[in-house]
Amino acid sequence: MRRRSRDSSRSIPTTCRVASRPTRRMPRPDTQPPGRFAMGVIVEFSFANFIAIYPQFATLSQPQVLQGALPVATLYCRNDGGGPVTKTETQTTLLNLMVAHICQLMYGANGQAPGGIVGRVSNAAEGSVSVQADFPVTPNNAWFMQTQFGAAYWQATAAYRTMRYIPGPRRVFNPWLNQ
Rounded CA gap, 117 and 104, in Å? 12
Q: Under a CB-based contact definition with an 8 Å cutoff, are residues 4 and 18 in contact?
A: no
Q: Please, which pLDDT band fits residue 135 given cuts at 50, 70 and 90?
A: low
Query: Is pTM beyond 0.75 here?
Result: no
Q: What is the pLDDT of residues 122-133, one digit of tens each?
A: 778 888 887 877
Q: Under a CB-based contact definition with an 8 Å cutoff, are residues 101 and 56 in contact?
A: no
What ranges do the domains of the chain cover? 36-159
Rounded CA gap, 108 and 105, in Å? 6
